[in-house]
Structure 1
């Protein structure tokens, strides 16, 4: 909320909202839903904002940092320390390409990369995941 103006702004769509009812209506709007479900560009968790909504369709949204930016700023954003830290914290595993080893950050277990799919389905992993979410 912007206290000075007593308004909210949807960073994704760029719309200004005056009341909490406007927020609810906006979040159910087809264009907002289209923007939040848009495909990610890559593992940096950045997606393009729908050209139908924006007059200038060169805007992107980082879902990890919740920042809206022009296309020209993406390369600077993804190397920023706070973005790198947030991406790293959001991953549930970290891979070591030198030895085909992967570490589940939920369970703190290292394993052969091809065993990760079965690890994700194990009861212990699911329990640890639920504990972390709580």
Structure 2
């Protein structure tokens, strides 16, 4: 049985993982649009979570709190109003984005919110 992208994302140990950095790669726009998070998992391992084939990034990051940026929740959503709108707009251009997902993060420390709209992700 093949694990879906939603299941693979949900299986990661997000709660209390630390968000160490967030990088946007637009060196080859339209060909390689990526968002990369550097995450320290609760067991101390550090890994990059790379979101590929990105179509949008929404973030409301709050700063000024002297505490690590720990993740409270992380979800992979397949159906949101913004996803429906994005699919509709791209469909008008002949591009189907049924596999587009919203990867949503909320943090404990600053109540920040990050939403990455991408078709796939990998952990390395």
TM-score (norm 2): 0.23
Structure 1 or 2: more strand by fraction: 2
**Higher RCO (C-alpha 8 Å, min separation 6):** 2
Q: Which has the higher helix share?
A: 1
